[in-house]
Amino acid sequence: MAQPVVAPEHYINRELSWIAFNQRVLAQALSEHTPLLEQAKFSAIFSNNLDEFFMVRVASLKSQIEAGLQTLSDDGATPSQQLVRIREGLLPLLEQQQAHYRHYLKHQLAEHGVQLLDYTRLSRRQKEWVNAYFQSAIFPVLTPLAVDPAHPFPFISNLSLNVAALIRDPDTGQQQFARVKVPQKNLPRFVQIPTELSEHEPTPIYTAVPLEQVVAFNLELLFPGMTIEGHYFFRVTRDADLELRDLEADDLMEALQEGLRKRRRGGEVVRLEVADEMPDEVVDLLMEGTAVEPDDLYRINGPLGLDDLMSLLAIPLPQLKDKPHLGRTAQALARTQKTRLEDGSIKPEEFESIFSVLRRGDVLLHHPFDLFSTSVEEFINQAADDPSVLAIKMTLYRTSKDSPIIAALIRAAENGKQVMALVELKARFDEDNNIQWARQLERSGVHVVYGVLGLKTHTKITLVVRKEKERLRSYCHIATGNYNSKTASLYTDLGLLTARPELGQDMAELFNYLTGFSKQQNFRRLLVAPVTLRKGMEALILRETEHALLGRPAHIKAKMNALVDPRIIALLYEASQAGVEVDLVVRGMCSLRPGLAGISDNIRVSSVIGRFLEHSRLFWFANGGDEEMYIGSADWMPRNLDRRVEAVTPIEDPLLRQRLETLIDSYLNDNSSAWDMQSDGRFLQRFPEGDEERAVQRELINGWRHGLQSVA
């Protein structure tokens, strides 16, 4: 098949599309319909997203420029042009975020008893308490560093908050510059002051002052005998991507640990943030010391590092937060939860193993609406304790620090079962955590492997092998999300529990591919990257095009995190021109231009941003009336299709297919938390405009589950 090509003018730059996504996140923070502390949360997410964007994407573009590469992006832009457009796109968003914090969020929180005060606004008693706190909890760990001919410019660690101090010697009259790093590792960003010291009426519930201000207004204790003439805050962002070659598996952990040490020491500075009021001469000194260009400088009119606003969610004010969502046990698994009597025994008549449920039929899970703990974790726990289970194999990409699943795998190994865990050491920003898990699992007798050389293992799969009546039966879990208890309550994800023999055989061969020297090129039902997923997805799109040309029902509905693959985009354009209706729900980056006359008239793209991070991927094809649906871990991106190990499974049960189609239709029909993509890459938010308000996440929370009750 000839390689389809997308003309540059028909492609949205992926970096600018990502900025548009983060703008939609910021819109949640700016919305008056978002509870106040949730506004703080979304502002923190916006900042955290931006930090990672600079550490990885901007750093990559700058590395290309440094290497003299002028490779054009798919939309025809050079690395330098992309950096200019990134800056132009970000500056107004940063001002919106800071204006919201200064002029709205702080004042509204104060009206509800939450005071985020500047040091200069503290009362005398409050200042006395803060100064005493500084001397007892902060002063001993500070290290002021002078900059002069005898003291070179100090190393500034990645994402650290710093105080630039201007100091004058009263004896010589000479002005000097010093840097003080704000100690954030074991201290809160917002130092809480006892409320009884407040002179406001009524007494506030929470009063705090930023940690960096506590340091800045006590500088005279660090430089006794000197005159403090000014202090200004700054922060740097460094290249934090880890480049790992195709190393022998035995060398991978050592190489990764060295890479992490380098990351902590820091790569090149890719962004310098300074307080807006910082004098030009201080800015020039910092720019020279950090070796940044003018376009890397960002003047911020407000506090730096607003990702720390996330800590405000700990304030016990439920009326300023979303109502707690606890989820429920999937209907089909209701009797699989062990009910214990007072003596510790289990009521046998009220208990049914997950394995017996799966022998009757597939179970579809939708988190966080279906509890992760009573479904996926219970599946692993029962496998660990069941004497008939012989083996457990699973992939671990990201998992929580106190993971019940890790504990279950260790227990299974101690129970004498064959346990294999593929721990992906290269999961970005989780590498250190995964190294620790890998060592703990190995010490417990679990067989730990680190994946396929040259590929990142991103698939989320588990295989349980059980002996039943002189035969072996396989039970599988295939999911869109990680085996992470924490994110399972924050992300929307889908999972399939099944005992279908063909899927079990595919999973066994896929694990052989991951752990051995298998060169498996074909699978029965699974679509597996990098072997069959790309050609499988391309064939499904081409089939819809053929159906349309023959006058048969032709429609594609898909939901994913990102769509940037040029070949997939080209095929979708061809499908649209053939008459295929294409409806896409893309959370983040989308490089396809919908609604272009003669190119993509039949393609519509929307994005849903809500309380939970949309993370599920599902793909529905009308197929001339014989509908097919798939779920899995892969987005339509080159890295997922070509450079990662991914698994996408068909949904065989007609009732589950129907329920998933109902689910994706509910995303497409959302009229209050959805955004419509325009052909120029902009997104416009939908509003009910007289219709009944439909917000899919809210409806799922409230119990309208779109028929997603699990079916046994």
Going from N- to C-terminal start, the domains of the chain cover 34-244+270-320, 331-515, 527-701
**The pLDDT of residue 256 is above 80:** no
**The pLDDT of residue 557 is above 80:** yes
Q: Residue written as tokens 């380098």? A: 262
At 676 the three-state DSSP class reads strand
pLDDT band per the 50, 70, 90 thresholds, residue 341: low
Of 403 and 95, which is predicted with more confidence?
95
**The pLDDT of residue 251 is above 50:** no
CA 353, distance to chain mean position in Å, is 33
The alpha carbon dihedral of 312, 403, 457, 425 has a sign of positive
**The pLDDT of residue 641 is above 70:** yes
447 labelled catalytic = no
Task: Kindly report, residue by residue over 146-203, the tens digit of the pLDDT.
Answer: 887 667 889 999 999 999 999 999 988 889 999 999 998 889 999 999 999 988 888 8
- Residue 336 confidence (pLDDT): 83
Active-site residue (options: 367, 458, 477, 706): 458
> Cβ distance 493 to 616 under 8 Å?
yes
Pick the CATH number of 331-515 from 3.30.870.10, 3.20.20.80, 3.60.15.10, 3.40.50.1100: 3.30.870.10
- Residue 149 confidence (pLDDT): 67
- Residue 398 confidence (pLDDT): 74
> Cβ distance 3 to 567 under 8 Å?
yes
Task: Kindly report, residue by residue over 494-552, the tens digit of the pLDDT.
Answer: 999 999 999 999 999 999 988 876 677 889 999 999 999 999 999 999 999 999 999 99
- Residue 150 confidence (pLDDT): 67
The class (CATH top level) of 527-701 is alpha beta
pLDDT band per the 50, 70, 90 thresholds, residue 694: very high
Rounded to whole angstroms, how far apart are CA atoms 232 and 182? Answer: 12
Rounded to whole angstroms, how far apart are CA atoms 231 and 443? Answer: 50
Rounded to whole angstroms, how far apart are CA atoms 207 and 109? Answer: 11
**The pLDDT of residue 370 is above 60:** yes
- Residue 427 confidence (pLDDT): 46
Give whole-number Cα distances, 27 to 45, 106, 307, 322, 704, in Å.
11, 17, 16, 17, 26
Task: Kindly report, residue by residue over 413-465, the tens digit of the pLDDT.
Answer: 999 999 999 887 664 545 566 667 677 788 888 888 877 777 888 999 999 99
**The pLDDT of residue 250 is above 70:** no
Which residues have C-beta within 8 Å of that of residue 397, sequence separation ≥ 6? Answer: 424, 427, 430, 457, 458, 459, 460, 482, 483
Rounded to whole angstroms, how far apart are CA atoms 602 and 572? Answer: 10
Predicted structure pTM score: 0.91
Whether 527-701 and 331-515 are alike in CATH topology: the answer is yes
Q: Report which residue type is found at 708.
A: L
- Residue 116 confidence (pLDDT): 97
Rounded to whole angstroms, how far apart are CA atoms 97 and 43? Answer: 7
CATH for the stretch 34-244+270-320? 3.30.1840.10
Q: What is the DSSP letter of 3?
A: P
Task: Kindly report, residue by residue over 24-38, the tens digit of the pLDDT.
Answer: 999 999 999 999 999
Looking at every residue in the chain, the average pLDDT score rounds to: 90
Task: Kindly report, residue by residue over 56-65, the tens digit of the pLDDT.
Answer: 999 999 999 9
